Amino acid sequence: MRKIFISIAAVLIAGTAVSTAQQKPAVDRAKADAAVKSAFPSAPADWQPRLVQDETMKQCSAHDNLPPKAVGEAIQKRERATIEYPADGQFMGDWKRGERIAQSGYGLRFTDYPPRNPNGGNCYACHQLTKAELSFGTVGPSLLNYGGIRKFGAAETKAVYEKIYNAHASYPCSLMPRLGSNKVLTIEQIKDVVALVMSPDSPVNK
Ligand code: HEC
């Protein structure tokens, strides 16, 4: 009996040693929150809520963006519930306006306060979209020919609308901002960007 107990203990200790070696140093969340808050002392009052994590951001931070299944499902459910759909049932607007929105990083910066122009979606900061634009980020996948690959399908078009409105609804702890739910883009602007991604005439699919 004692022998069995000792060998179980040895396995447990060995297991702990392995997992400890693989873990990153723990971050003191309270210190991190305080650092974020103190970094924006002159943020206007209506910006203060942006310095406080909502439930989803808290859960993503707690799990280093890799939530366990149940937490991930709870995030998806909560975020999906925030998606508002176009009143006319149309998911595609004007791709030319969409390209300007995708190019624009205007909005929500100190220099944009008070706002003088509509916000942009800053899509190129993370995605390749067209062949013509050579400057793009790679945090997100390339969207070149995205609509063509998906045969310009209706369900796929709706999915792009939902992705832009709230990326966490399909991918909990996505690195893509919740552009609709966080009121960065309007429903009309999102439709224009959907057209850029999904329209057969758009330079994304040419
Ligand atoms: C800060 C970076 C970032 C920005 C800005 C961003 N995205 Fe994303 N996007 C991502 C990441 C990361 C993914 C992959 C994870 C996911 O699917 O949520 C993604 C996924 C997507 C997908 C799904 C790709 C697939 O594999 O099916 C689409 C479509 C998309 N983004 C479109 C856009 C559009 C359009 C904009 C601008 C309105 C935009 N994104 C802005 C980071 C970003």
Tell me if 62 sits within 8 A of 32, measured CB to CB.
no
* Together in a domain, 79 and 4: no
**Residue 43 lies inside a defined structural domain of this protein:** no
Q: What's the domain count of the chain? A: 2
**Residue 133 lies inside a defined structural domain of this protein:** yes
- C-alpha 176 – ligand 1 centre gap (Å): 5
**Residue 165 lies inside a defined structural domain of this protein:** yes
**Residue 47 lies inside a defined structural domain of this protein:** no
Cβ-proximal residues to 154 (8 Å cutoff; 6+ apart), any chain: none
Residues framing ligand 1 (Cβ under 6 A): 102, 121-123, 125-127, 139-141, 143, 160, 163-164, 167, 171, 174-177, 179, 193, 197
pLDDT exceeds 50 at position 169: yes
- Rounded to a whole number of angstroms, the distance between the first and last alpha carbons of the chain is 72
Closest Cα partner for 49 from 136, 108, 129?
Answer: 108
* Together in a domain, 29 and 124: no
Per the structure block, which two tokens stand in for 103?
């190019």
* Together in a domain, 178 and 204: yes
* Together in a domain, 130 and 83: yes
**Nearest ligand 1 atom, CA 196:** 35
* Together in a domain, 115 and 204: yes
Q: What angle do CA 106, 148, 130 make, to 5 degrees?
A: 35
**Residue 199 lies inside a defined structural domain of this protein:** yes
Q: What is the residue with the minimal CA distance to atom 14 of ligand 1?
A: 140
* Mean local confidence (pLDDT), 161-166: 99
By most ligand atoms within 8 Å of CB, the mutation choice from 75, 76, 126 for ligand 1 is 126
Q: What is the structure's pLDDT at 2?
A: 46
Q: What is the residue with the minimal CA distance to atom 37 of ligand 1?
A: 123
Q: Exposed, middle or buried, 154 (CB in 10 Å: 0-12/13-18/19+)?
A: exposed
Indicate whether this model's pTM tops 0.85. Answer: yes
**Nearest ligand 1 atom, CA 137:** 2
- C-alpha 140 – ligand 1 centre gap (Å): 5
**Nearest ligand 1 atom, CA 179:** 38
Closest Cα partner for 191 from 167, 162, 151, 149?
Answer: 162
Q: What is the structure's pLDDT at 175?
A: 98
Contacts within 8 Å (CB) and 24+ apart, 88-92 = 90/191, 91/157, 91/158, 91/160, 91/161, 91/191, 91/194, 91/198, 92/157, 92/191, 92/194, 92/195, 92/198, 92/199
* Together in a domain, 12 and 107: no
Give the range of the structural domain holding residue 202, as residue numbers without chain letter.
53-206
Quickly count: other Cβ atoms within 10 Å of residue 176's Cβ.
16
By most ligand atoms within 8 Å of CB, the mutation choice from 176, 186, 190 for ligand 1 is 176
DSSP character string of 132-184: S------SS---TTHHHHTTT-HHHHHHHHHHHH-GGGTSTT-SS--TTTTTS
* Together in a domain, 139 and 60: yes
**Residue 189 lies inside a defined structural domain of this protein:** yes
* Together in a domain, 124 and 74: yes
**Residue 142 lies inside a defined structural domain of this protein:** yes
**Residue 48 lies inside a defined structural domain of this protein:** no
- C-alpha 123 – ligand 1 centre gap (Å): 7
**Nearest ligand 1 atom, CA 139:** 12
- C-alpha 183 – ligand 1 centre gap (Å): 16
* Mean local confidence (pLDDT), 75-82: 98
Tell me if 179 sits within 8 A of 121, measured CB to CB.
yes
* Together in a domain, 33 and 63: no
* Together in a domain, 99 and 163: yes
CATH code, domain carrying 175? 1.10.760.10
* Together in a domain, 20 and 61: no
* Mean local confidence (pLDDT), 113-122: 94
pLDDT exceeds 70 at position 153: yes
Mean pLDDT of the chain: 89
* Together in a domain, 124 and 28: no
